[in-house]
Amino acid sequence: MSDLAKSATILVIDDDAEIRYSLSRVLSSRGYQVVEAPSGEQGVALVKKGPPPDLVLLDVRMSGIGGIEALQLIRAANPRQLVILMTAFGTAQTAIEAMKYGAFDYIMKPFDPQKVLALTEAALKTRADLHAVSDYKPTINADDYREGIVGSSSVMQDVFKTIGQVTASDVTVMITGESGTGKELVARSIWKHSHRAGKPFIAVNCAAIPDNLIESELFGHEKGSFTGATGQRLGKFELCDGGTIFLDEIGDMALATQTKILRVLQAGEIQRVGGTETIKVDVRVIAATNKDLEEMVKAKTFREDLYYRLNVVRIKMPPLRDRTDDIPQIVDFCLQNLFKQKKARVSKVSPEAMSALTRHPWPGNVRELENVIYRSAVIAQGDALLVKDLPAEIRSAMAGISEGNPAASDGSMGARADHANGATTAPARLEVPVPPPPAGATLNLDEALDFVYQALSSEERLLQRIEHEMILRTVKAEGNDVAKAAKRLGFTKAALQKLLKTK
Ligand SMILES: Nc1ncnc2c1ncn2[C@@H]1O[C@H](COP(=O)(O)OP(=O)(O)OP(=O)(O)O)[C@@H](O)[C@H]1O
Ligand SMILES: [Mg+2]
C-alpha cells in the first residue's frame, strides 16, 4: 500500500451504527483514518467544513436526506470529492443515479470486506493518478490546427506539402490509405485551399450507393427514365458545378459507371440518365480508395485508362501505427475539441494511459482513436483520462507491461496493487490483500486453484485474466518459442501470435 493510501482519511456516512463500526474496523485495519457521520446532513456538513476527506463511503437509504441527495450536495460543494455509495438495493435506478451524480462506484450490502478494501484502494489510486497529472502539458493547442489535420511525423509533413502543391491547379488527385486514415479530411483540405473553395464540395460514397442508382446519383435523370423517376433530378456533378467532387471508395464503382466518369474527366461533360442533352460541367475530381487499384487493373475490374486519369497525383495516407509519434497530438486535439464542444470535461491524460494509447496498433486508424478518446473521456471521473477509463482491448496492451515490471513488486500483493492500473476494471492487477500461502507449503492443484480463485475474487473478467496469465507464463517457460507455447496452450501458432500482439 502506498503512503498516500495509508494516511488517507475516509468519511463513512451511514445512519446504522453497526455498519459504521464494522466499516471503521475493516478500514482502520489497513491504516486508513476513519471519520464517521451518523446522517447525510452531518456528513455533508463535514465535507463542506473541510479539510475534505480523501474518500466518502455513503449509504443510500438513510433517515433524513438520502444518499443520492447527499451525493449531489457533496459534489456541488467539492466537484472533485470521491464518493462510493453503499446500498442494500441494487436497483437500476440507484446505479444510474449514483453514476449520473458522479459517484466513483457503488457497492452492495452486505459487504464483503475485501471488496470494500479493493474498491477503496481503487478509488484512492484514481485520486492519486488524477493528482499526478495535475501539471499535464498538452502537446498541441487545437486552435492552431484549424485544418483539422494533426501530425508532425515526416510522412504527414509530406502529405501537407503535397496538399499545398496540388491546391493551385485542378489536377486530379487520388488518395489511398486504410480506413480512417484521413482521406476525406485531406480531400476537403485540398478543396478549401483551392480557388474552388467558394463553390461546393460534394462527397459521394460509391460503395454505399447501389449500382443501379449510382449513375442517376452522379449524373441525374430525366422524368420517366426508369420506374420511380417521377421527375427530373440533377446529379451530383451538376450540383457541384465549379466545385470539387470527392469520389470516395472509387474501387467499388461498377465498370459501366467508370466509363462515364472517364468521359467527365476527358470531355468535362455529362448526360443525365434517360436524357440526350450533353451538359458541360466544370468539376474537379478527387478520388479515394482503400483497395489496391493496381491489382484491380490487372484483374480487369478497374479500367486502366480511368486509373491513369485519376492517379495524376497520388497521396498515400500512412496508417496510424506507422506514425505513433503523432498519437499524443491527436489525443490532445480530440480532447480539446470535446472540451470546447462541452461533450467531456477531460483535458489531461495520465502517462500510463498515453503509453497504452501509443502502443495500440489502431487497425481503424485515426477514426478508431477518435472514438476511443470520446468513449473514454465521457466515462472519465475527473479531469484526466486514466488507464481505467480506456476500453479493455487497449488496457490489455498495458497489462503485460505493468505485470512484468519488477519495480511493481516488493513481495506483497498489496504493494503490487499500488502499481497496477485502474483497480476496478483493468485486467492486470492483484489488488485484493489475500494472505500469502504458508511459506514452504506445497499446494496441490486444487488448493492452488482455490488460492488463485480467492486472490482474484474481485476480478470482473476472470477467464480473460487467467488466460492472459497462463499465456505469459507459458511463453516464458518455453523460452519465447511461440510455436511450442501455442502447442502447450492448445492454440494455433497464428492465434497465439495474434493474442500476443494485443497483449
Ligand atoms: N491527421 C488527423 N488529425 C486529426 N483528425 C484526423 C486525422 N486524420 C483523420 N482524422 C479524423 O479521423 C476521422 C476519419 O477521417 P476520414 O473520414 O477522413 O478518414 P477516411 O480515410 O476517409 O476513412 P474511410 O476510409 O473509413 O472513409 C475523421 O473524424 C477525421 O476528422
Ligand atoms: Mg472516407
- Distance, in Å, from the CA atom of 243 to the CA atom of 25, rounded to the nearest integer, reads 73
Q: How far is the CA of 115 from the centre of ligand 1 (A)?
A: 42
Cis preceding linkage at 328, omega within 30 = no
**103 exposed, middle or buried (CB, 10 Å; 0-12, 13-18, 19+)?**
buried
Residue from 156, 178, 184, 188 to probe ligand 1 pocket by mutation (most atoms less than 8 Å from CB): 184
State the ligand closest to the CA atom of 247.
Answer: 2
pTM over 0.85: no
- Smallest CA separation from ligand 1 atom 24, residue: 179
- Smallest CA separation from ligand 1 atom 29, residue: 367
Question: How much is the pLDDT for 165?
Answer: 95
- Smallest CA separation from ligand 1 atom 9, residue: 182
Amino acid at 108: M
Q: What is the DSSP code (8-state) at residue 174? A: E
Q: How far is the CA of 124 from the centre of ligand 1 (A)?
A: 37
Q: Which helix (H) or strand (E) holds 378?
A: helix 365-379
- Distance, in Å, from the CA atom of 188 to the CA atom of 194, rounded to the nearest integer, reads 10
State the ligand closest to the CA atom of 332.
Answer: 1
Question: How much is the pLDDT for 121?
Answer: 94
Q: How far is the CA of 181 from the centre of ligand 1 (A)?
A: 5
Question: How much is the pLDDT for 1?
Answer: 46
pLDDT in tens, 455-489: 777 677 778 788 888 888 888 888 888 889 888 88
For residue 423, what pLDDT band results from cuts at 50, 70 and 90?
A: very low
How many CB atoms are closer than 10 A to CB 90? 12
Cell 472509387 sits on residue:
250
- Distance, in Å, from the CA atom of 86 to the CA atom of 98, rounded to the nearest integer, reads 10
Task: State the DSSP string of 451-476.
Answer: HHHHHTTT-SSHHHHHHHHHHHHHHH
Q: Residues enclosing ligand 1, CB less than 6 A? A: 148-151, 177, 179-185, 290, 330, 333, 366-367, 370
Q: Which three cell numbers stand for residue 227?
A: 420506374
CB contact at 8 A, 123 and 82: yes
β-strand partners of 106 = 85
Q: Which helix (H) or strand (E) holds 482?
A: helix 482-489
State the ligand closest to the CA atom of 366.
Answer: 1
Q: Which three cell numbers stand for residue 40?
A: 447525510
pLDDT in tens, 292-343: 999 999 999 999 999 999 999 999 999 999 999 999 999 999 999 999 998 9
Name the percent of the chain lying above pLDDT 70.
88
Q: How far is the CA of 244 from the centre of ligand 2 (A)?
A: 15
Q: What are the residue ranges of helices labelled H in 133-254?
A: 154-167, 183-193, 211-219, 236-239
- Distance, in Å, from the CA atom of 154 to the CA atom of 324, rounded to the nearest integer, reads 12
Among the atoms of ligand 1, which is closest to the Cα of residue 177? 21
Q: Which three cell numbers stand for residue 86?
A: 453503499
Q: How far is the CA of 9 from the centre of ligand 2 (A)?
A: 52
Question: How much is the pLDDT for 6?
Answer: 54
- Distance, in Å, from the CA atom of 338 to the CA atom of 86, rounded to the nearest integer, reads 32
Among the atoms of ligand 1, which is closest to the Cα of residue 182? 18
- Smallest CA separation from ligand 1 atom 2, residue: 149
Among the atoms of ligand 1, which is closest to the Cα of residue 205? 27
Q: How far is the CA of 365 from the centre of ligand 1 (A)?
A: 8
Top-confidence residue, 497 or 51 = 51
Tell me whether strands 348-349 and 220-221 are parallel, antiparallel or unpaired.
unpaired
State the ligand closest to the CA atom of 372.
Answer: 1
State the ligand closest to the CA atom of 184.
Answer: 1
CB contact at 8 A, 234 and 220: yes
Chain mean position to CA 486: 30
Cα–Cα nearest to 377, from 323, 339, 410: 339
CB contact at 8 A, 262 and 302: no
How many CB atoms are closer than 10 A to CB 356? 23
Top-confidence residue, 401 or 357 = 357
Q: How far is the CA of 283 from the centre of ligand 1 (A)?
A: 23
Handedness of CA 69, 108, 392, 290 (dihedral sign): negative
Half-sphere exposure at residue 437, Cβ-oriented, CA atoms within 13 angstroms: 13
Q: How far is the CA of 248 from the centre of ligand 2 (A)?
A: 6
Q: How far is the CA of 290 from the centre of ligand 2 (A)?
A: 9
Among the atoms of ligand 1, which is closest to the Cα of residue 326? 1
Cell 478508431 sits on residue:
368
Residue 417 has pLDDT above 90, yes or no: no
